[in-house]
Structures are given as structure tokens and as C-alpha cells.
Chains A and B, each alone.
Chain A
Amino acid sequence: MSSETGFDPALYERFPTTGERPAGEFDELNRIWAAPTGIAKLTAVNNNYVGVWYIATAFLFFVLAGVLALVMRAQLALPLQGILPQETYNQFFTMHGTIMMFLFAVPIMEALGVLLLPQMLAARDLPFPRLSAYAFWAYFVGGLCFFASIFFGLAPNGGWFMYPPLTSTTYSPGINADFWLLGIGFIEISAIAGAIEIIVGVLRTRAPGMSLREMPIFAWGMLVFAGMIVIAFPSVILATLLLELERALNWPFFDPTRGGDPVLWQHLFWFFGHPEVYIIFLPASALVSMMIPALARTRLVGHNLIVLAFLATGFISFGVWAHHMFATGMPALSVGFFAAASMAVSVPAGIQVFSWIATFASGKPVFNTPTLFVLGGLVTFVIGGLTGVMVALVPFDWQVHDTHFIVAHLHYVLIGGAVFPLFAVFYYWMGMTSRRPLSERTGKWVFWLMFVGMQVIFLPMHLTGLMGMPRRVYTYLPGRDWEITNMISTIGAFIFAAGVLLFLIELARNFRFTVEDDAGNVYGGGTLEWLPTGLYSTRSIPVVNSRYPLWDDPGICKDVEEGRYFLPNAPTGHRETIITSPVRAEPEYVQIMPGPSAWPLLAAVFTAGFFVILTIQAYGVALFSGVLAVLCVLRWLWDTDRPIAVEQADVGAGIMLPTYVTGPRTHGWWAMIVLLVVIGMIFLMAVFSYFYLYGIHPQFWMVEAQGWWLFPIVGLYALAALLAWLGRRLLAREDVSEWTPSGLLLWGMVAAGAAFILDLWSWRATGLTGDASGQGAIIHALFTLQGCLVFILALMAVYLAARTGRALIIKPCNNTFDLITLFTWYLAGQGAASALLTRLVPGGF
């Protein structure tokens, strides 16, 4: 067997070890991983706590958004109802969609990742537990504040996709739209923080031997899910930034009379918005693929094909965004390409559906509650998928565009593809976090109420749409034949709600959170999350050479619990996990993990505060909150990246691993690369916007900066990158003073800042302003993006100087130094690319 890192796979044969484990090591492990008590429990960062809080919060938002839907259905039950006034109805449907998509669907998938992945991978925790805690608290605080806007009549009212010009200051002069644009800022941060955590976690913290081939299908789903967030979310981040800049500073990105274009918003939004559907569906389908083998009592049919389907979905779903825009008048050939891709993307989903059917058919399924939810979800999703193929056909789409047919279609897809699987998940995995499992008898009632309710709501809604009822109207006139189907849909909504209510009662009856004495593997799953666990995850980390280790090795639970595998203790005296290689999961080093801390919590509160307070235009207070958030993050980071006394740790069976590693092998380096991909995608979408606006309205592109400015600007950026590189090289040499490498890096930062100022000044000298035209707006948007990076670099400079002053930048290599160097390189590259773009296109020398 070949190796990826030089690790000898023959060493795996030393496990499970034999002989007695030293007395007291298990108590020590428990002591190190113990959770804080009392009010300090809020500072816990362990995935068992954060994951459950995260799921509970997301479910709360599901219920809240569901209540909004119920009121809307009551309003539409009969024509000319007066339950909701028009404006309130607008706020209700906007909040319903926004909350379901941004505050429920994506967060609950990340939450499940936080809760389940460490157990499935047999890691002690995900690699950045404080980041998970930060992501959760920012989402929790910000989400509740965002929802509260509806009680003040300030909730957004432009629909969950917020099209301009409706959402421009002309037609939406209040702060309702700002609540959406700024209010979801913290959700974007939270989602990306979660995605970084998941990508690095899946690729670097798997149990030794758990190669890509053996990786649980949920880990595959979450990997693709997180990758899609990294590619898709930057688009909506940019879109919200541009629209907020237009509203606040009158920069006309979306105003066609001044060189902007409202369709640009649609491109940016849907480049995020359509993959968003798959971002929600993929983890849910991965969970289904995890549950079905246990429910059908056989192995998953077509495991490799499902992996392929995930990967294919991850790519092809980025080629379908414009099928939401068939009615905008795009070139016919473009429309054809998007229609083709929209049909093609159903193939990977079909592969999964056939695989599930084949697994059920080849096994001996028991029709318990999770099975019912899985099958109900499958049927519902297939119906939604078929109507999806119908609307991929352009002439049909034109007929049903913006009608209730679309509302029915998207609910079939999302409820069948995500909500029903999630309820199956609740039942299936409840035994992992609760002392008591949920009742099967009640569960079947919950299922049938929800399933019947779902069909009663949305099946007739197709007809309502085909009969021409547009979506997002708060009432309708009698005599249009819409009364009967609307009444049926409303009755269905209350049946569905009864099912959810029964589930809530069931939770109150039976859910008792625990980590130690859980109900266990009620449905007989074969994967690692069903190993005996505590707050430390598993007592020891097993060697994995099977997709169903618990089925293939009946002794594994006992051996793991007796500490006969990797890391049976805490050899460094700290919280720790094993970092493994990305393909073959060979042990590389021991990561020292952070423990409970109030700083992520405080940073999150102030981050959410910054965005929410900005919305109500209390700029001074918002700025203060933002400064506090930054200070909390810096304080949180201050304790990190410190080597410990134990340089090599025995991780079991005499295998020694280093405890401090730097460079491209480290999990920190990987996280920074993922973050830079996010930033790079934001820049790429801005470049797309640049070309788009120029292509649509070239007549507004009148101003040219002198091309020779490129020489000093690009030169300074190159100097910045060079100095950063040189500083990193010098850090490895013993004969340089402590400050020299940091000094070089700091000078590099100065050069980058100077290049930015020079670039901005030379453009401002032409008289071009942000509000002058589409050209001015997009060039200033590029400066805004670059300015943000320069500001972050300035913060890094202060931080680096402080750490250098305290002798925390150790030789010959240091992670803090590495990551700041990486950021400087990226910043220099983006700055140079931006300067070249704005001067060479369309002008040139």
C-alpha cells in the first residue's frame, strides 16, 4: 500500500492494542474536556453543545417562519380577506422566504455538520471549535434581532430575492430593505465561517485510515455543500454590498438611466440563489443516504455513484442560475444553454433517487418513523423535481413564471428534499443527544399529518398557478375560480402545522439533552457516530478501513471505549485531536485545540450588533460595536498559535507525532486558503459586474485614468509581495534579529497600502466619482473591496507588531507569520489585478 505523507500504513496493525491502560488517564481525559457549568456554559465551544444549540435555534426559526406562512394562508383562504394589510403581507412573505432560506435551511445543515461530523469522523471536535461558537452566536443574536423587525413594521418587504428597482431608495425609501441587506450580513459571515470549519474538518480531521474511499457519505455531502457555500455566497455578499452602497451613497449599480442595470442584481443573486437550493438539498440527501442503509438493513447501493452525483451537482448547479431569468430577455442561445443545464442537473439527483430505491428494494426496510419521512420526502422531492424539469423548458416557464405554480414547485423540492429528511434525521439521531428516543407511535402521526398536509397545500397550488394566480399578491377578486384551490391549500397548511405542533409536544415529552447517557443506536446504524462518546467524542480514535465499521467489526465499540486505538488519553495535557492527510487520512500531527472562551461569544454579539445597529442608521454606535467585535476577535486569537512544551506526543502504540507544525500542511493554512477563495470569489463577481455594466451601457464609460500609473501601483504591490516573501524566508534564519522578518512584512504592508492610496488617488484625480455613472460606481466598488482588505491588513500589522514585541513570533517558522504573509500575497495580487483591469478595459494605454 502506498503512502501520502510517508506514514507507514503497517503501523495500523498495532491496533487495537492489548494490555492494560494506565489508571487515571480516562479521568484526565474527562477533566480536560469537561464543559463549564452554570452561566459559563454559554462559553462552551464543544460541538455537542454548540451543535444542539445551533439546531434548536434553526428549528425555532422554522417554526416562526411557518407561523408567518399560516397567517398568509389564512389571508388567502378567501378572496378579499382583511387579515393582513397589503404592506404587512409583503413583509410576511419576504420574511417567510428569507428566514426559511437564510435562517433555517442553511444554518440547520451547518448545525448538523457541527454536531454529527466530529462523531462520524471520530475526531475530538472540528478543527476550529471557537469559530463554530462564533458562527452560532452571531447567527443567534443577529437572527433574533432580524426577526424582531417584523414587530415594528420594519421588516423587509421586497421579496426574499429583493429585486431592484423595487428595492432602490426610489421605491423603498424606508429602512426595511436595509434590514434585509445588512441584516443578512451576519448570516453570510456565519455561513462562511461554518463552511471553512467543515471543509478543513472533513479533509483534515478524519480518523486514521478513513480515506476518501471510506469516508461517510454525509462527510462527502458536507464537503460539497461547504465548497458550494464558498463559491456561491460571495456572489450574494457582493450583491448586498452593491445595493446597500447604491442606497446609501447613490452609486448607480442598478440604475439603467445612469449606466447601471437591474438585471445585474438578478445575475448576482441567482448565481447564489440557485446553488442555494442544492446547498440545502445535498446535506439532506447525504443524511438520507446515511439513514437508508440502517433503515433498510443493507449497504447503500451505488455509493460511488452518489459521491459522483454530489460532485456533479456541485459543479452543474452553478450553470443554472439564469433559468430564474428566462423572462428578462436574454439572448436566445444563452437561454438555450441555461435550459440545457437545468435539465442536466436533474440527472445527479436522479442517480441518488434510484440508489435509494435500489437500497430499499435490496434490503428489508422497517416502516418506522424515519423510514416514513425518508420515503415521503422521496416521493415529494421527485414530484418537485419533475415540475422543475417542466419549468426548465423555456416556453412553459414563460407561462407559469411568477405564478403559484412556481410556489408549489419550490415547496415540493424544499420540503421533499430537505424538511422531510430533516424530520427523519430528528428521529434517527435523537438517540445520540437525548436520554430518551422519540416515540414511534407519535412519530407516525407527525409524519402522516405533515405528509398529507403538504400534499393538500401544494398539489392544488399547481392548479392555482396554472389558472393564472400570481405569487405575492395579498388578495384576489372573487369569480376567478381561485377560491376552491386556495381554500384547500389553507386547510392543508393547518394540517401540516398540526403535525409540527405534535412534534413540538413530542420534543417536550421526550427530548432530554445529554452527552453521557444517551439513548444510543436505536435504529442500528453502522457508522462511527454510534460509538460510545463523551464530550471528548470517542475515548480513542479507531483505525477505519470500512464504510460501516460498526457492522464489519463487532468489537470496535469495546476496543474504542477501552482506549485501544489512537489518542486514548491526552498526552499533551491539553484538548487535542489528530490532523490527518486529506486523501488517505494518514496521521500528520496533533492539533492542540482551544477550550471554552467568552471571546467568540462577545465577538459574535458585537458583530451582529454592528450589522443590526447599522440598519437603524445609528452609525456611531454601530462603529463602536464593530470596533469591539474586532478587539474581541484579536483577544481570542491572542492565546492561539503557541507551541507547547511537549514537542512530540505518543498518540498510541508508540507512534509519535509533532504537536506544532507550520506551512502548507497545517489546518490553519488550509483555512486561510479557503477564506482567500471566498474573498477571491467576491472579487471575481465584481469583475463580472464590471464587464457586465460595460457590456450593457458602454456609452457611460467616458473616463480614463492614465495608464502609466500602473507602473508605480503594480510595482508597489509587487514590492509588498516580495517583502512578505523575504520576511518569511528570513524568519527561518538564526542570524537575523527578532524584528527583521516582521519589519519586512510590515514594510510590505506599507507598500500595499501606498499602492492602494495611489490607485484611488489617481482615479479620483480624473474627477470620477461613485455616483457619476455605472463606471464610477463599479470602479469605486472595486476600491471598496480593496480598501476592506487594506484595513484588515492594517489590523494584522498591529497584531503582528504586538506579537513580535511579546516574542510570540518564534523561529524558524510561525503560523501567524505564515497566514499574514499569505494574506499579503493575495491582497497584492488582487490590487494589481484591479488596477490593471480598470486601466486596460476598456481604455488601455
Chain B
Amino acid sequence: MRTWAYLLGGLIVWTVHFFAVYVAASIFLTSTTARVVTALVTFVCLAAATTLTLRGWAGRVGATDPERRWIHTIAALSGATAFLAIAWQGLPALLI
């Protein structure tokens, strides 16, 4: 289970971010509070995605076992994808 959590870590962070900003917008509607909450959640989730990406990349470089190396690669890609998706997902709070 830990392997799967690591492999999907970035996408799990994206999920947490998405539903957090959805709940914030549902409760606080289109308000400054919702924007602030969105910004905070986005910042925290971006940090988490960055961490996962860097960890995955470092693991990939250091791994000798091809399976571990592959898992680190997917984890790093998952984190990087999540970083972009979270940044994109947070933008409406600045624009609307």
C-alpha cells in the first residue's frame, strides 16, 4: 500500500486540492474568503507536489534496482503533473 501511495502521491495531492477548493467555493461562494482559502490550499499542495517530485527524482537517480527506479520515475512524473494541474486549478481564484 505504501508503494501505491507513493506512486500516486502527486495525484492524491491534486485530488485533495481539487475537493478542498470545491468545498471552499461551495461554502463561501465567490468571495474573498474563498479566494484566500483557495490560495492557501494551493500553496500547501504545490509545496507537497514539489516535495514528491524532488523525492521521486532523487530516488530515481540513486536507484539501482530497475523496479524501484521505475516506481520513483512514475512518482516524480505524478508529482510534476500534479504541480502543473494544481497551479492551473488555482488560477480561477485570481481571475474570477
Contacts and interface: CB of A to CB of B under 8 A. Distances in A.
Interface string B1-45: 001000110011011001001100111011000110010000000
Contact of B71 (A212, A316, A335): A212
Interface in A88-142: none
Given A211-B67, A331-B26, A318 B15 contact: yes
A305 interface: yes
B96 A336 contact: yes
B29 A333 contact: yes
Interface residues of B, number: 37
B77 A304 contact: yes
Contacts of A315: 8, 11-12, 14-15
Interface string A303-338: 011011001101110110000000000011111110
A316 B68 CA distance: 26
Contact of B67 (A213, A308, A334, A336): A213
A583 B34 CA distance: 41
Contacts of A316: 11, 14, 85
A311 B80 CA distance: 13
B65 A2 contact: yes
| Majority SS at the chain B contact face | helix
A336 B88 CA distance: 11
| Most chain A CB neighbours (cut-off 10 Å) among B65, B74, B93 | B74
Interface string A328-356: 00011111110111011001000000000
B25 A212 contact: no
Contacts of B18: 319, 337, 341
A340 B65 contact: no
Interface string B63-91: 00111101101100110010001001101
Contacts of A308: 74, 77-78, 81
Given A213-B67, A304-B74, A584-B67, A312 B81 contact: yes
Nearest to A331: B29
Nearest to B76: A308
Interface residues of A, number: 32
Given A315-B11, A333-B96, A337-B25, A344 B89 contact: yes
A695 interface: yes
Given A211-B67, A312-B11, A583-B67, A340 B89 contact: yes
Contact of B89 (A305, A337, A584): A337
A645 interface: no
Contacts of A307: 74
B67 A311 contact: no
A65 B12 CA distance: 38
Contact of B92 (A312, A340, A347, A583): A340
A143 B21 CA distance: 40
A334 B26 contact: yes
A311 B78 contact: yes
A226 to B, nearest CB: 15
A80 B37 CA distance: 54
A1 interface: yes
Interface in A639-683: none
Contacts of A583: 3, 67, 71
A664 B86 CA distance: 35
B25 A334 contact: yes
B77 A213 contact: no
Contacts of B91: 340
9 contacts: A2-B68, A211-B70, A213-B67, A311-B11, A316-B85, A333-B93, A337-B92, A347-B85, A583-B71
Interface of A: 1-2, 211-213, 304-305, 307-308, 311-312, 314-316, 318-319, 331-337, 339-341, 343-344, 347, 583-584, 695
Q: What 7 A-B pairs have minimum CB-CB distances, sorted nearest first?
A: A336-B92, A213-B70, A333-B25, A315-B11, A334-B25, A333-B30, A332-B30
